[in-house]
Amino acid sequence: MEKKVNPVRNTVSNRAKAIGLLSGGLDSIVASRLILEQGIEVEALNFVTAFCTCTSKGSGCLASQKAADQLGIPLKVVDISEEILDVVKNPKFGYGSGMNPCLDCRIFVFKKAKEYMRESGAEFIFTGEVLGQRPMSQRREAMNTIERESGLKGYLLRPLCAKLFPPTLAEEKGIVDREKLLSISGRSRKGQISLTKRFNIKDYPCSSGGCLLTDKAFAQRMEDLIKYKQDFRLPDVMLLKYGRHFRMSPAVKLVVARDEEENFKLAALKNNSDIMFHAQDPLGPVSILRGSTGGEFVSEAASITARYALGKDNEGEVKIRYFTSQGDDKFLKTGPCGESAMKGRRI
Ligand code: SF4
pLDDT tens per residue across span 198-216:
888 887 876 667 899 999 9
Q: Is 25 in the pocket of ligand 1 (CB under 6 A)?
A: no
* Beta carbons of 100 and 208 less than 8 angstroms apart: no
Domain ranges of the chain: 17-198, 242-342
DSSP per-residue string spanning 124-192: EEE----BTSSTTTSSHHHHHHHHHHTT-TTTEE-TTTGGGS---HHHHTTSS-GGGS---BSS--HHH
Q: How wide is the angle at C-alpha 135 spanned by C-alphas 217 and 115, nearest 5°?
A: 95
User: Where does the pLDDT of residue 3 fall: very low under 50, low under 70, confident under 90, or very high at 90 and above?
Assistant: very low
Q: Is 101 in the pocket of ligand 1 (CB under 6 A)?
A: yes
Q: Which atom of ligand 1 is nearest to the CA of 211?
A: 2
Q: For a substitution probing ligand 1, which of 27, 51, 53, 216 has the most ligand atoms within 8 Å of its CB?
A: 51
- From atom 3 of ligand 1, which residue's Cα is the shortest distance away? 211
pLDDT tens per residue across span 72-87:
999 999 999 999 999 9
User: Where does the pLDDT of residue 56 fall: very low under 50, low under 70, confident under 90, or very high at 90 and above?
Assistant: low
pLDDT reported for residue 143: 97
Q: Is 284 in the pocket of ligand 1 (CB under 6 A)?
A: no
- Return the biggest CA–CA distance within the chain: 77
Q: Is 128 in the pocket of ligand 1 (CB under 6 A)?
A: no
- From atom 6 of ligand 1, which residue's Cα is the shortest distance away? 102
* Beta carbons of 126 and 132 less than 8 angstroms apart: no
Q: Is 100 in the pocket of ligand 1 (CB under 6 A)?
A: yes
Beta carbons within 8 Å of 14's beta carbon, 6+ residues apart: 3
Report the Cα–Cα distance between both ends of the chain, in Å, rounded.
60
The percent of residues in the chain predicted with pLDDT above 90, rounded, is: 78
Q: Where does the chain have alpha helices with state H? A: 26-36, 62-71, 84-89, 102-120, 140-149, 169-172, 190-198, 216-228, 234-239, 260-269, 298-310, 339-342
Q: Is 146 in the pocket of ligand 1 (CB under 6 A)?
A: no
Q: Identify the helix (H) or strand (E) that includes residue 316.
A: none
- From atom 1 of ligand 1, which residue's Cα is the shortest distance away? 210
Instruction: Determine the distance separating the centroid of ligand 1 and the alpha carbon of 137, expressed in angstroms.
Output: 9
pLDDT reported for residue 191: 86
Instruction: Determine the distance separating the centroid of ligand 1 and the alpha carbon of 238, expressed in angstroms.
Output: 17
Whether 310 has a pLDDT exceeding 90, the answer reads: yes
Q: Where does 37-101 have alpha helices with state H? A: 62-71, 84-89
Q: From CA 41, how far away is CA 43, in angstroms rounded?
A: 7
Beta carbons within 8 Å of 344's beta carbon, 6+ residues apart: none
Instruction: Determine the distance separating the centroid of ligand 1 and the alpha carbon of 9, expressed in angstroms.
Output: 33
Q: How wide is the angle at C-alpha 342 spanned by C-alphas 340 and 347, nearest 5°?
A: 140
pLDDT tens per residue across span 145-198:
999 999 999 999 999 999 999 999 999 999 999 999 999 999 888 888 889 888
Q: How wide is the angle at C-alpha 264 spanned by C-alphas 83 and 79, nearest 5°?
A: 20
State how beta strands 41-48 and 17-21 pair: parallel
The CATH code of the domain at 17-198 is 3.40.50.620
Tell me how far CA of residue 314 lies from CA of 160, 241, 301, 305, in angstroms. Answer: 57, 26, 16, 11
Q: Is 214 in the pocket of ligand 1 (CB under 6 A)?
A: yes
Q: Which atom of ligand 1 is nearest to the CA of 100?
A: 7
Q: For a substitution probing ligand 1, which of 214, 215, 237 has the most ligand atoms within 8 Å of its CB?
A: 214
Q: How many CB atoms lie within 10 A of CB 123?
A: 20
pLDDT reported for residue 60: 58
Q: From CA 98, how far away is CA 219, in angstroms rounded?
A: 5
Choice among 108-117, 144-153, 290-299, 330-339 with the minimum mean pLDDT: 290-299
